[in-house]
Amino acid sequence: MAPPSIALVASLLLGAVSAQSLGRTPEVHPKITTWKCTKRNGCKEQKSAIVLDSATHPIYQKDNKELGCGNWGSAPNATVCPDQATCAKNCIMEGISSYADYGVTTKGSSLKLEMMGKNGVASPRVYLLEGNEKKYEMLKLTGNEFSFDVDVSRLPCGMNGALYLSEMKQDGGKSKLNKGGAAYGTGYCDAQCFTTPWVEGVGNIEGKGICCNELDIWEANARATHLAPHTCNKPGLYLCEGEECTSTGVCDKPGCGMNPWRHDVFDYYGPTKEFTIDTSKPFTVVTSFPADSNGKLVEIQRKYIQNGRVFENAAKATADPIDDAYCVGQNAQDFLRLGGMTGMGEAMTRGMVLAMSIWWDEGGFMQWLDSGEAGPCSATEGDPKNVVVVEPRPEVTFSQIRWGEIGSTSNMRKRPHH
């Protein structure tokens, strides 16, 4: 997730909230086909699953189902949660048996995320689970590549269909006080270091910020796209305090971003056939992460495939690839200060969790992504009130998710089929 305004946090960071005592409603994960690939043997199909972020699950106080257990931006309710053990006892999290009610459906290799759910705004965020549905799939992409197909045709100005990596724990922080773990979508963190009532499924009694390395492979709508790594100088999930949580602290909040529009390439990405990448139709996104002989991440490369044709990334001057030199040119000082490409690669080598979401920006109207120097949208098109006039039911579809050796996921002759 790129630089958000404080006002949009409720829609972005619900995921760090969770509860530990499990209710009676069963958790029924949608299934999805993914692939692991090698250049020699092509792409091998695997059965994966999707889990909604823990806060999307119904959470309530044991003795009063009408009451929750905490609000974003602070420690949990002190009366209900005077300590971690009492929190776990007093707060109940139910499973979700119908993901479609929350705007999440799968079919074969496709995952559709809808902004609107059964009861209004859903803005789902989901994570990729292993086939056993008990742990997150840990992607280790240093020296490898990641590809997926995407349909952004129903994402107008102001929307964001995001696919990114977070250095969460594989089990979601499962413990005696967090019985759900990854199977219930617990353990979220990112480089924005927001404070939420719960951390890894345990009461965040001291109200600390929740930080970890984040790699935004894809943030986009039909008008603009953004790619950005965000480093932290702490490995794994880290709880920050005070200055550590700020823009001068332990994590790079702005990221070292690449957006074609910001490099004055105005005819590359857009919703008609006049653009190089026609976002009115599906296309393939291929992101490679070359490493040196010592296994250190060197750069991030991007290309696209549409209608059987391969397109190199939109580039002027140093717009591609993203490496430390590019980040110097972009004045991405925090990214470089907190580890740069080496630090990002170290997190990727340890393993990161795949997150996918759809959201809008009630505070900043997504201007950082698609307005002004970032894109063709006006300053107010991203207002959710205007978004729903253009597209009453925004949605994004990710499909054909695959990862493996560089050159193995984008070989058209060995591409997996639905």
* Backbone torsion region of residue 342, taken as left when φ is above 0, otherwise alpha when ψ lies between -120 and 50, otherwise beta: alpha
| 219 in catalytic set | yes
Q: How far from chain centre, in Å, is Cα 301?
A: 19
Alpha-carbon span 231 to 244, nearest angstrom:
14
Strand partners, 129: 49, 136
| 214 in catalytic set | yes
Token pair belonging to 340:
């740069």
H or E, element range at 11: helix 9-12
* Backbone torsion region of residue 85, taken as left when φ is above 0, otherwise alpha when ψ lies between -120 and 50, otherwise beta: alpha
Q: Phi and psi dihedrals of 398, rounded to 5?
A: -105, 140
Question: Of 309, 301, 223, which is closest to residue 266 (Cα–Cα)?
Answer: 223
Alpha-carbon span 3 to 337, nearest angstrom:
18
Question: Which residue of the set 94, 167, 219, 395 is catalytic?
Answer: 219
DSSP string, 124-145: -EEEEEPTTSSSB-EE--TTEE
Alpha helices in 167-284 (DSSP H): none
- The amino acid at 104: V
Question: Which residue of the set 200, 214, 244, 381 is catalytic?
Answer: 214
Question: Of 221, 206, 147, 72, which is closest to residue 410 (Cα–Cα)?
Answer: 147
Alpha-carbon span 78 to 59, nearest angstrom:
16
Q: How many helices and strands, by DSSP H and E, does the chain display? A: 7, 26
Alpha-carbon span 254 to 193, nearest angstrom:
12
DSSP string, 328-392: HHTT-HHHHHTTHHHHHHHHHHH-EEEEEEEEE-TTTTTHHHHBGGG-SB-SSTTSHHHHHHH-S
Q: Which residues are catalytic?
A: 214, 219
